[in-house]
C-alpha cells in the first residue's frame, strides 16, 4: 500500500474540507507515448446534428507522463463502420492490428497497453483541453514509404521495452504434452517469419 493511500481516509458528511481542485496538465501539442489507464464500455446517443447513429462507444482514459506529472487525455472510440479507420488506428497504435489484416478487437488487452499519439489542444467555453489528433501505428511496414516518427522509434526500441514484451506475448505457444523426452532442442520457427508485433 502506498504512502498516499495510508494517509487517505473516508470523509464524513459534516467533515471540513480545504484542498482546492487541481487543474489538469495542458500538454504542448506534439507527440507522446501514452498508456491506457482506463477503458469503459458505453453507448453513444446522438444529438440532433450528429452524423453518427446510436452505437457502442469505448471511453478511453490515456495517461501521458511528463516532467510536470501525469496528464490525462480522454478519447472516445465509436464502434461503427463509418469510424472503422479510427478504430484500426488505435488498435495498430497499441500493437494489436497489423497492416492490411483483419482484427477481432480484444478489449481485454486495452487497459495497460501503450502506444504513440499526436496531441493537439482544443478550445471549448474559453478553456483549452488535450485532445487526440491521431494515433501512430506501431507497425514498421506502415513506414516503408515514409519515415517512422521519432516517437514510434522510441516506443519500439527493443531494449526491454514495449515491443519486446509484445513480441514475447505474440510468440508464446502453449506447451505441447510430450510423452517422450526430446533429444534435440526445438527450433523457434516464428523467429524466421519476419513478423513484428503491431503490424497493421
For 134-147, the pLDDT digits (tens) are: 999 998 888 989 99
Residue 163 lies in a domain: no
Give the sheet arrangement for strand 69-79, strand by strand.
Answer: 69-79, 55-66, 30-44, 114-124, 127-136
Examine the pLDDT at 91 and tell me if it is beyond 50.
yes
CB 54 within 8 A of CB 44: yes
**pLDDT tens profile 183-197:** 443 444 344 444 444
**Per-residue pLDDT, 68:** 87
**Mean pLDDT, to the nearest integer, of 70-77?**
95
pTM score > 0.75 for this model?
no
Residue 191 lies in a domain: no
- Grid cell listed for 194: 519476419
Across 18-27, 101-110, 112-121, 188-197, least confident range? 188-197
Residue 88 lies in a domain: yes
Provide the CATH number for the domain around residue 107.
2.40.50
**Per-residue pLDDT, 176:** 42
**Mean pLDDT, to the nearest integer, of 91-103?**
95
| pLDDT interval class at 6 (50, 70, 90) | low
Residue 178 lies in a domain: no
Number of domains in the chain: 1
Q: What is the mean pLDDT of the chain?
A: 80
Distance CA 13, CA 119 (A): 40
**pLDDT tens profile 15-45:** 888 766 556 899 999 999 999 999 999 999 9
List CB contacts of 101: < 8 A, sequence separation 6 or more. 199, 200
Residue 40 lies in a domain: yes
Examine the pLDDT at 166 and tell me if it is beyond 80.
no
Domain span holding position 112: 23-45+54-151
Distance CA 149, CA 109 (A): 25
Q: What percent of the chain has pLDDT over 70?
A: 72
**Per-residue pLDDT, 1:** 44
**Per-residue pLDDT, 94:** 97
**pLDDT tens profile 152-164:** 999 877 644 444 3
Amino acid at each position: 500500500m502506498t504512502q498516499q493511500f495510508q494517509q487517505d481516509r473516508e470523509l464524513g458528511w459534516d467533515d471540513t474540507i480545504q484542498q482546492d481542485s487541481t487543474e489538469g496538465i495542458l500538454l504542448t501539442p506534439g507527440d507522446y507515448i501514452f498508456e491506457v489507464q482506463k477503458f469503459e464500455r458505453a453507448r453513444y446517443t446522438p444529438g440532433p446534428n450528429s452524423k453518427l447513429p446510436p452505437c457502442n462507444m469505448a471511453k478511453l482514459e490515456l495517461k501521458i507522463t511528463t516532467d510536470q506529472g501525469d496528464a490525462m487525455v480522454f478519447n472516445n472510440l465509436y464502434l461503427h463502420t463509418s469510424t472503422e479507420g479510427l478504430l484500426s488506428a488505435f488498435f495498430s497504435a497499441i500493437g494489436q492490428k497489423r497492416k492490411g489484416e483483419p482484427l477481432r478487437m480484444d478489449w481485454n488487452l486495452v487497459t495497460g497497453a501503450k502506444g504513440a499519439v499526436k496531441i493537439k489542444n482544443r478550445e471549448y467555453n474559453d478553456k483549452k483541453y488535450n485532445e487526440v489528433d491521431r494515433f501512430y501505428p506501431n507497425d514498421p511496414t506502415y513506414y516503408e514509404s515514409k519515415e517512422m516518427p521519432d516517437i514510434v522509434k522510441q516506443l519500439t526500441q527493443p531494449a526491454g521495452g514495449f515491443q519486446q514484451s509484445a513480441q514475447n506475448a505474440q510468440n508464446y505457444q502453449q506447451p505441447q504434452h510430450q510423452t517422450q523426452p526430446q533429444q534435440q532442442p526445438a527450433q523457434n520457427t516464428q523467429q524466421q517469419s519476419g513478423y513484428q508485433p503491431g503490424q497493421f
